[in-house]
Structure 1
Amino acid sequence: MVEFRMPKLGESIAEATVISWLKNVGDYIAAEETLLEVATDKVDSEVPSPVSGIIKEIRFQKNDVVPVGTVMALIEASEGESQLQSQSQSQSQTQQSAQVAEPSSPYASAAPSSVAQLRQGGTTFLSPLIISIAQKENLSIEELQLIPGSGADGRLQKSDVYQYLKNRKYPVQSKPVVQNPPTSSYPKPKINYTEGKDYIIEMDRMRKMIADHMVYSKQTSPHVTSYLEVDVTDLVAWRNNHKEAFQAKTGQKLTFTPLFVEAVAKAIQAYPLINVAVEDTKIFVRKDINIGMATALPTGNLIVPVVRNADTKDLAALASDVNQLAESARTNTLKPEQIQGSTFTISNVGTFGSLMGTPIINQPEVAILAFGIIKKRPEVITTAKGDEIAIRSMMFLSLSFDHRVVDGFLGGSFLRKVGDYLEQFDTNTTY
C-alpha cells in the first residue's frame, strides 16, 4: 500500500487547500495522472499520482487545509511498483536507524517515537543537527512543524531549514500566554443591514489572504510615500513609433510595463540597499533583482507574478516575461514558483486611470513603486530660445518604503534615478 502525501509545492509553502479530487475510492489511476487539484499561495495546481494502482482510501475532502507531507490517500500499487516502493521505504528506514543519536536537548529528550510527533508535515525524525540549528536560530517547535522536508519520507534536512530561514516571512512564535489583553473602549461600529435590499458577500480564500497580508504589512512597516513627476514624452514617442516593428521582430507586444521594469532594475543596480528584506535587526541584501508585478485578476483579486533576474535581460526578453506572466494570471495558470521570490514590486495603477497611488509594501520587501497614468498637458520647458509652453506626456511615480531601513535620502535618490531613466530614455535603443 502506497501512502500518497501532500507534496512540496514551492519554497516556504507549508500547506495547501483541497479543491477537488479527480478520482474516487475504488478507481484505478495511472502513474503521473492527475489525482487532485489543490490551491496554494494563490495558485491552483494539479497533483499527479506517483504510482499506478487502485485508490483504497481518501482522507481529506474539498476545502480541507492539508499540511505538506501529510498522508492524504492510500493507493494499492501495481505489483512492480509496489515492490519498488517497499524497497525505497526499507532503504529510508535503514538510513534513519543509522543516523539516530542520543538526545542532547529539550527538543529531543523523548524517545524517537515521541520526537516524531514534533513533525506533522510527514517527517518522522528530528536529528540532533536539526535540533541544534533550531536552538541557534530560535526556531520554535511550532515553526519546525511547518517546514516541508525534502528527505526520504518527508524527513527534514539541514538544507530545508536554511532555505526556510532564508525566505522566512512570518516567524511562528510559541503560543504566548496573554494576561488581561488590552481592550478598546471605542465600540465597534454597527453595520446597518436591510434585509431584501442589501446583500452579503463572503470573502473567498484569496481575498482573505490579501487582507491578512495587507494588514500584516501596515502593522510591520512604518510606511512613507514619496512622489515624483516625470516627463516621459520621448519614451512614449519611441514606444508608439516602434511597437509594430518590435512585435514583428520579436513576436511580443510592447507595453509600457517592460520599459518600467527595465528602469527599476537599472535603478536598483545603482542603489542596491533598496533591494533588501528586513527581519528584526537583520537586513538581508539580495543579489538577484526579481521584480514583482502587482496584477489584477478578472475576479478583482490581486496577484504578484515575478520577472526574475530582470537586470540580466534585454527589452525583448523582459517583454516576453511580462506578457507570459500577465497571460498566465488572466487564465489562472500561474505556477507557484512564478509568484515567489520577488525582491521589489511595482504596481501600474495608471492602467485603471489613477493619477497616483500609495501602494502597500509587499512583505518582506522594503519598498514598492507605483506608476500613475500617462497624461498629456501643457508644461513649461526650457529650450535654446528660453522658456516655452509645450504639450508633454507626464506621469507621477509614488514610492512607498519601510522607514525602519530606508531613509528619505535613499528612497528619494532611488526614485529620482528611476525618473531619470524614464525621462532620459535612449531613443536609439535597439531590440
Structure 2
Amino acid sequence: MTTVELKMPKMGESISEATILNWLKKVGDSVEEDETILEVATDKVDSEVPSPCTGVIAKILFEPNEVVEIGKVIALIHADASQVATEVKEEENTSISKKDTPKRDIVKSNNNAVKVGVVQQKLVVNPDAFLSPLIISIAQKENLSLEEVQSIPGTGVDGRIRKSDVMQYLKHRKYPLQSIPQAPQVQKSTYAAPQIPFTEGKDRIVEMDRMRKMIADHMVYSKHTSPHVTSYIEVDVTNIVNWRNKVKIEFQEKHGEKLTYTPIFVEAVAKAIQEYPMINVSVDDKNIVVRKDINIGMATALPSGNLIVPVVRNADEKNLLGLAKNVNHLANSARNNALKPDEIGGSTFTISNVGTFGSLMGTPIINQPEVAILALGIIKKRPEVITTEKGDEIAIRSMMYLSLSFDHRVVDGFLGGSFLRKVGDELEAFDSNREI
C-alpha cells in the first residue's frame, strides 16, 4: 500500500502560511483524485485543496482554525482504496482525537517562549521585517506597537513573521515591556461612543464573515496609514460608447469574448501610468518603491456581497483583445468564487467602477500598499456645449466622472491631477474608427 502525503499547497507570491477552515472529508473516507478535501484561507483568499490521488484518508494532522506553513504535510492518504475504511477510521480516531497529545510542530513552544522572554528584555527590533496585512490587523487588535511587532522572531521563510509567531508572543508577553519607552499619557477623550439600540423581535444581528472582517480591517488600516486626497474630472466618452455599440456584436463573434468598458479603462490607465510612473509606487517607511510592472487591480463584488480585487498583470503589455480576455476571465472567476491566489495579489494600482451600481462618482479608499485608486462613475447622456468648426453648439454627449484618491505622503496635487487628466485625455482621444 502506498501512502501519499497531502501538503499545504503554495497559495501565491509572498504567502508563507494558511489557515485550515474546514475538512470536507474525515479519516476513513474515500476520495477521488482532484476531489476537494478541505478548505483553507490566507489573508487574501479562501481556497479549496484537492486530493492528489484516489484512496482513503488515513490521517489528518491539523484541526480547523490551525495555521499551517506552506509545504507542511497536513494529511496522509492510502492510495490503495481497497483498504477497509472502518479499520482505518478506528485506528486513526484513537490516536488523533486525543487533544492532550497532538503531534504537531508548527511552533516549538518551549524554544519560542525563551526567545520571547529575551526579546521582551532586550527588544531587538528588525526594521526590515515584512508585515503582512493579517499581521498588521492582529497588531492593531492587540494594541501592539510597530516596534514591538518588528521585535518578534519570525519562523517563516526568510525569517518572516507568521500569525503563529504573534500568537505565541502574546501568550508570553510581559507588562510593562522594559525596552519600549513609555509614551506621555494623553488625557482620555470624554466622548462616549453612542449605544446601538436593539429591539428584540424586530432587529437582528448578523455576524461579519471572515472576509468582511478582513475588508473592514484593511479599510481602517488604509485610512490610518495614508492621508487621502480625492480629485475629480469630467470626461466625454461619446467616442468610446459609439464605437463599442458599433463593434461589440462583431467583436464577440470574431473573438468569442464580450467587449465591456473595463478593458478600455484599463488600457487608458496603463498608458497614463507609463507617463507618470510615480503613481505606480508603494511607501516603505521613508523609502518609495517604484514598481516596474503595471498590474491593475479591479475592485469586484462577489456574490456574497463582499469585495475582492483580481489583478490584470502587465496591463501595459496587452492589446485590447488580450485585456478583454483577461478581464472577462477574472470577472467570471470572481462571480463563481473560482479565483486563484495568484490572481488576486500583486496589484500596483486599482480601479473601481462605481458606475456599475448607478453612482455618479465615488471617493474610493486606497488599496494598500498602493498610493492611488481610480473610481469610474456612471456614463450618462446629457446636453453639453461643444466647440465645432461652426462655433459653439449644444449636443447630446456621453459624460462620466473620474475620481482619483491618492496618498498625499508621496503624491501631491500636481502629480495626482496630471495623472488623472492624462487618463481622461486617453479616454476622450479614443479612435472611433479603431479596428477590432
Per-residue deviation, 1:208: 0.2
Write the letter of the residue equivalent to 1:137: D
Cα pair 1:10 1:337 within 8 Å, conserved: yes
Q: How does 1:140-289 map to 2 (within 5 A)?
A: 140=150, 142=152, 144-145=154-155, 147=156, 149=157, 156=158, 177=177, 182=186, 183-289=188-294
The equivalent of 1:291 in structure 2 is: 296
Task: Tell me how far apart the structure 2 counterparts of residues 59 and 70 of structure 1 sit (CA, whole Å).
Answer: 13
1:4–1:241 CA distance, 2 compared to 1 (3 A): closer
Write the letter of the residue equivalent to 2:154: L
**Is the counterpart of residue 75 in structure 1 residue 76 in structure 2?**
yes
Cα pair 1:294 1:305 within 8 Å, conserved: yes
1:19–1:135 CA distance, 2 compared to 1 (3 A): closer
1:393–1:138 CA distance, 2 compared to 1 (3 A): closer
Unaligned 5+ runs, structure 2: 81-106, 114-124, 131-149, 171-175
**Residue-by-residue CA offset, 1:242-286 (whole Å, 9 max, x unaligned):** 111111111111111000000000000111110011111111111
Cα pair 1:58 1:72 within 8 Å, conserved: no
Write the letter of the residue equivalent to 2:223: K
The farther-off stretch of 395-404 and 236-245 is 236-245
The equivalent of 2:26 in structure 1 is: 24
Task: Tell me how far apart the structure 1 counterparts of residues 128 and 109 of structure 2 sit (CA, whole Å).
Answer: 19
The equivalent of 2:120 in structure 1 is: none
Cα pair 2:18 2:70 within 8 Å, conserved: no
The equivalent of 2:47 in structure 1 is: 45
The equivalent of 1:12 in structure 2 is: 14
**Residue-by-residue CA offset, 1:107-151 (whole Å, 9 max, x unaligned):** xxxxxx9899459xxxxxxxxxxxxxx968357463623x3x4xx
Cα pair 2:240 2:430 within 8 Å, conserved: yes
State percent identity of aligned pairs: 66
**Residue-by-residue CA offset, 1:364-414 (whole Å, 9 max, x unaligned):** 000000000111111111111111111111100000000000011110000
Write the letter of the residue equivalent to 1:142: I
Write the letter of the residue equivalent to 2:69: V
Task: Tell me how far apart the structure 1 counterparts of residues 112 and 34 of structure 2 sit (CA, whole Å).
Answer: 31
Cα pair 2:20 2:68 within 8 Å, conserved: no
Cα pair 1:366 1:406 within 8 Å, conserved: yes
Identify the match of residue 303 of structure 1 among 302, 308, 323. 308
**Is the counterpart of residue 342 in structure 1 residue 328 in structure 2?**
no
Task: Tell me how far apart the structure 2 counterparts of residues 219 and 361 of structure 1 sit (CA, whole Å).
Answer: 11
The equivalent of 2:387 in structure 1 is: 382
**Is the counterpart of residue 424 in structure 1 residue 429 in structure 2?**
yes
Give the secondary-structure state (helix, strand or coil) at the position aligned to 2:411.
Answer: coil
Give the secondary-structure state (helix, strand or coil) at the position aligned to 1:226.
Answer: strand
Task: Tell me how far apart the structure 2 counterparts of residues 46 and 74 of structure 1 sit (CA, whole Å).
Answer: 15
Unaligned 5+ runs, structure 1: 80-112, 120-133, 150-155
The farther-off stretch of 204-213 and 134-143 is 134-143
The farther-off stretch of 231-240 and 45-54 is 45-54
RMSD: 3.2
Give the secondary-structure state (helix, strand or coil) at the position aligned to 2:373.
Answer: strand
Between the two proteins, the alignment pairs up a number of residues equal to 365
Per-residue deviation, 1:17: 3.3
Task: Tell me how far apart the structure 2 counterparts of residues 379 and 224 of structure 1 sit (CA, whole Å).
Answer: 28
Per-residue deviation, 1:69: 4.2
Write the letter of the residue equivalent to 2:413: G
Task: Tell me how far apart the structure 2 counterparts of residues 385 and 402 of structure 1 sit (CA, whole Å).
Answer: 44
The equivalent of 1:58 in structure 2 is: 60
Cα pair 2:352 2:375 within 8 Å, conserved: yes
Task: Tell me how far apart the structure 2 counterparts of residues 243 and 333 of structure 1 sit (CA, whole Å).
Answer: 26
Task: Tell me how far apart the structure 1 counterparts of residues 112 and 53 of structure 2 sit (CA, whole Å).
Answer: 29
Task: Tell me how far apart the structure 2 counterparts of residues 275 and 54 of structure 1 sit (CA, whole Å).
Answer: 49
Task: Tell me how far apart the structure 1 counterparts of residues 343 and 245 of structure 2 sit (CA, whole Å).
Answer: 30
Cα pair 2:8 2:74 within 8 Å, conserved: no
**Residue-by-residue CA offset, 1:292-330 (whole Å, 9 max, x unaligned):** 000011211100000111101111110111111001000
Per-residue deviation, 1:45: 1.9
Cα pair 2:60 2:76 within 8 Å, conserved: no
The farther-off stretch of 364-373 and 67-76 is 67-76
Per-residue deviation, 1:2: 7.2
TM-score (normalizing by structure 2) = 0.75
Write the letter of the residue equivalent to 2:225: T
Cα pair 2:18 2:69 within 8 Å, conserved: yes
Cα pair 2:7 2:72 within 8 Å, conserved: yes
The equivalent of 2:420 in structure 1 is: 415
Task: Tell me how far apart the structure 2 counterparts of residues 116 and 288 of structure 1 sit (CA, whole Å).
Answer: 43
Per-residue deviation, 1:26: 3.0
1:243–1:2 CA distance, 2 compared to 1 (3 A): closer
The farther-off stretch of 381-390 and 250-259 is 381-390
Identify the match of residue 326 of structure 1 among 327, 331, 348. 331
